[in-house]
Structure 1
């Protein structure tokens, strides 16, 4: 980022912080330990220099925002990192984590959401597969979880919203054969899941694009990038959520690399899924 860009972002965010505080510029300067003339200089359009480090730190500390946000290195102004619990659906009660996840999708409307699922993409799962996959959920809870997945599909159907999914083709192949965690799931349910997934990816294309890579060539942990706003890394019983611009950029680069090496392109995914139905026994 150029120095001029950084100073412009700092000035814009400082102005936003002053407006949000409800204070006059004189009051804001006093709280931050600045002279009124110093604050005026920081807000000047002709000023291309950033203030001293201690001045930025003082503004951030007195007004409870992060230095990274003031300098445009983060999209969120909170000082602390954001860690939330794993999605967990209870009958007749919405999970706070689910509500947060849906809010992140809503927040990213108009931007591209990029998603590496832990198993199959949530958006295409049947209720029977959700119930089998979790193991611990009763039918009512599985139905609630499926409702959340369908809500995400509604996001993909909006013309201003795009979702890209990238996962290993071996995961789908193992699902069709009933291997691993899918052992014990009835063949009829696996066939129904494959048919539903194939139909949805064709119906939603190009707003919803599912790439398949070879797990022998590439590897990825589950994560989601919600446009430029945040990225969530799934670690089994919680999400680690990043709002740093650099973290989001690096995870986006990783996703780009998965796409570049994808063996199955989104316009081929529906047919590929149907080709696996012959392996279901």
Structure 2
């Protein structure tokens, strides 16, 4: 079984904090330092006297650092004081990084946690969908795609759900479905084929559904897959070959993993591309591709005994 493991470490964020020694020769470090110090001072509207006052570094030392004749870099202590006062990283001042952010700030920008409280989960999703308008959205749903659920399925799943009634869930579903019907939408789902076969057999959480409701749900999904294709596509993969946690990739803006109580939100290009490749692997190895899913669901529905 193939698995995706994401370990967030500082070394895994090169796209945010690139190393620049190959592009900044040692002979030019003092020049780069001087240019960056000067630009940071201009941005913060600081002169030599005010910078010296903030940092505790002698004004004469600041003047020397800005001098065209200065070829030596300052001590680490001076660099740290200057970087702190100017709100940049010491590595950036020294030409060792192209990012002004420090490691802690980079990590915070790389990974965020959004609380998925019942009354707030939709707020996050709807905002992320709005911000991704015009971009391709890829989604591995928790069970069935939310936009394809019938009233009976939503009634069962949200009957005891804190913070959202079945009627509110239905309204949310209709809102998202209307977005999928917009011209220019590019929305792609991937889910295990076993989830649908379990649903057809009324296994697990769906045991309380009546056979007629199960058939209605499967046919509803088949109709939507046919109606919305190719702007909205559903692929079915085999759990014996692939596994995925609930994941959504919102274009190039962000990638989100749902863990139940929270969303892990990845904002850096590297992590977004990693989760995009993961999703694309699910599609590439799918046992039922999107153009055949409608017929497959119709056949599955026909096998449900009423």
Normalised TM-score (structure 1): 0.72
Choose 1 or 2 for highest CA Rg: 2
- Give unmatched runs, 5+ long, in structure 2: 1-14, 24-38, 56-61, 67-75
Please say if residues 177 and 279 of structure 1, whose CA atoms lie closer than 8 Å, have aligned partners that are also in contact.
Answer: no
Structure 2 CA distance for partners of 1:202 and 1:60, relative to 1, 3 Å: farther
Partner of residue 46, structure 1: none
Structure 2 CA distance for partners of 1:154 and 1:129, relative to 1, 3 Å: same
Partner of residue 45, structure 2: 27
Number of aligned pairs?
A: 244
User: Helix, strand or coil: the match of 1:101?
Assistant: helix
Partner of residue 15, structure 1: none
Q: CA deviation at 1:239?
A: 1.2
Structure 2 CA distance for partners of 1:152 and 1:69, relative to 1, 3 Å: farther
Distance 1:243 1:112 in 2: 16
Please say if residues 158 and 165 of structure 2, whose CA atoms lie closer than 8 Å, have aligned partners that are also in contact.
Answer: no
Structure 2 CA distance for partners of 1:214 and 1:198, relative to 1, 3 Å: same
The answer to whether residue 209 in structure 2 is matched with residue 191 in structure 1 is no
Partner of residue 34, structure 2: none
The answer to whether residue 206 in structure 2 is matched with residue 182 in structure 1 is yes
Normalised TM-score (structure 2): 0.67
Distance 2:217 2:302 in 1: 14
The answer to whether residue 161 in structure 2 is matched with residue 131 in structure 1 is no
Structure 2 CA distance for partners of 1:234 and 1:60, relative to 1, 3 Å: farther
The answer to whether residue 229 in structure 2 is matched with residue 211 in structure 1 is no
Partner of residue 62, structure 1: 87
Pick the aligned partner of 1:267 from 291, 300, 304.
291
Q: CA deviation at 1:78?
A: 9.2
Q: CA deviation at 1:267?
A: 1.2
CA deviations over 1:179-226 (Å, ceiling 9, x no partner): 122112111211111121111111111110000011111111111111
Pick the aligned partner of 1:83 from 110, 113, 124.
113
Structure 2 CA distance for partners of 1:69 and 1:97, relative to 1, 3 Å: farther
Write out aligned runs for 1:1-281 (5 A). Answer: 25=43, 27=45, 58=83, 62=87, 70=99, 79=108, 81-86=111-116, 88=118, 95-137=119-161, 141-281=165-305
Q: CA deviation at 1:279?
A: 2.7
Distance 2:185 2:273 in 1: 19
Distance 1:71 1:271 in 2: 54
Please say if residues 231 and 242 of structure 1, whose CA atoms lie closer than 8 Å, have aligned partners that are also in contact.
Answer: yes
Q: CA deviation at 1:60?
A: 11
Distance 1:123 1:69 in 2: 42
Q: CA deviation at 1:157?
A: 1.8
Higher mean displacement: 117-126 or 149-158: 149-158
Q: Which consecutive segments of 4 or more residues in structure 1 shift more than 3 A?
A: 1-4, 23-26, 28-33, 57-61, 67-72, 76-81
Q: CA deviation at 1:271?
A: 0.9
Distance 2:208 2:199 in 1: 11
